Amino acid sequence: MIRIFSSLGRDLGIDIGTVNTHIHVQGRGVVLSEPSLVATDTKQEGIVAVGADAERLLLRTPDMLDEMRPLRDGFIVDYRVMLTMLRHFMNKASRSVGRTRVIMAVPCGITDVEKRAMTDAIIQAGAREAYLLEAPIAAALGCHLPVFEACGSMAVDIGGGTTDIGVMSLGGKVIAHSARIGGHDFNESILQYIKNTFSVMVAVETVEAIKLELGTALPPQEEMELSFLGRDIANGLMKRIIIRKSEVYQVMQETLQRIVDEIKSVVEQTPPELAADIMERGMILTGATALMEGLGQRLSEELGIPVQVPPEPGFAVAVGLGQAGKEFARMERFIIASKNRKGRA
C-alpha cells in the first residue's frame, strides 16, 4: 500500500515535440518516449491509436488509416487530436494524473494564444496544475548549467521542428529565440534529393536511417555508402539505390548553415559580460540531432565557443523539466504561463 501511494501526485515533465514526446516522472526518470503521432480511421475519422501503437498500425495497414501529427514546428495544429494524444500519454505515464503538477516544455516566443491553448490542454487532460517552460531553459537545467548564478549559460535544443536557443543568468532568461528549423528539415532535404536524383519514393523510416547512418556536419574523411530500396516513380517497381556519405553531407549543408546562423545571431545579441562567460564555459547542445557526427565540432569552429553534448541529448529537456519540479520555488522568473484546475492563471 505504501508503494502505491508513494507515486501519487508526482510531478510530470512533458517534452512534447513535432516528432517525439518524452515524459519524466519525479523520482522515476523518463518513463515514456513515443512518437507524437495519432492514427485515425479514414472512413469514420475516429482516433484508432496513439504514439507507438499508432506507428505500428500505420506501418502494417497504411491504406486503412490516416497519419496525424497534432503539432507542427512545436505548435498545435489540431487541438482535439493534441488533447487526445496528451491525455493518453499522461495516463500511461502516471496512475494519478488528477493530483499531478505538469511542467511542459514549449518553443521560445510562443504567443499568448498558444500559451493558453497549451495550459488548457494540460488541465483538460486531467492535471491539477499546468506550467510552461521554454525548451532551452529545461535543457540547461537537465545538463546542470548554473542558471541561478551570476554568470551566463547558453543552451541550444534542436528538436524535430524547431531549434530553440536560450541564454540565462541569475534565475532568468536574457535571450530566448526559436527558429522553425530542425531535424525534420534534414529528412525533407534527403527525401527530395532521392526523389529528384534517383526518381524513387522511399519510406520515412528509410530517410531517417540514411540520416542517422551517413549524416555528418563535417566533410567526410572517409567515404561510406548505404544501399536501400525505393519505389520507381515511372513504373511502380522496387529498385535498389546506393547513396554515399559525401552526397548526404552536401544535401544537408543548407539546413546546417541556417542552424549555425540562428545560433550566431543569438550570440551576437548577448551582452558582452555574459558572452565572455559562454566563450569560457561553453554552450550545451541537446535534442536527438545533437548526436549527428561532427555537429558539435562544426558549431564550435564557426562560433568560437566550446560545445558540450550530454550523453543522452534527446532526453535532456525532459530531465530538465524534472529538475524544474525539484527547484520549483526558484522557477518564478522562468515560468512563462500557468493554470490550475480552478481556472486561475
- pLDDT, tens digit (0-9, with 9 covering 90-100), for 74-120: 889 999 999 999 999 999 999 888 889 999 999 998 999 999 999 99
Q: Is 239 helix (H, G, I), strand (E, B) or coil?
A: strand
- pLDDT, tens digit (0-9, with 9 covering 90-100), for 279-317: 999 999 999 999 999 999 999 999 999 999 999 999 999
For residues 328-341, average pLDDT: 95
Which domains are seen in the chain, by residue range? Answer: 2-137+317-340 (3.30.420.40), 146-309 (3.30.420.40)
Residue 3 has pLDDT above 50, yes or no: no
Strands 172-179 and 38-41: unpaired
pLDDT of residue 345: 62
Beta pairing partners, 307? 283
Tell which residue, 181, 241, 238, has the closest CA to residue 210: 241
- Average model confidence (pLDDT) across the chain: 93
Q: Which of 38-42, 163-167, 208-212, 226-230 has the lowest mean pLDDT?
A: 38-42
Other C-beta atoms lying within 10 Å of the C-beta of residue 261: 12
93 CB contacts (<8 Å, ≥6 apart)? 12, 23, 25, 31, 32
Residue 63 has pLDDT above 80, yes or no: no
Annotated binding site: 160-162, 208-211
- pLDDT, tens digit (0-9, with 9 covering 90-100), for 4-16: 333 446 899 999 9
Annotated binding site for ATP: 160-162, 208-211
Answer yes or no: are the C-beta atoms of 148 and 332 closer than 8 Å. no
Spatial separation of the C-alpha atoms in residues 74 and 67, rounded to whole Å: 17
For residues 212-238, average pLDDT: 96
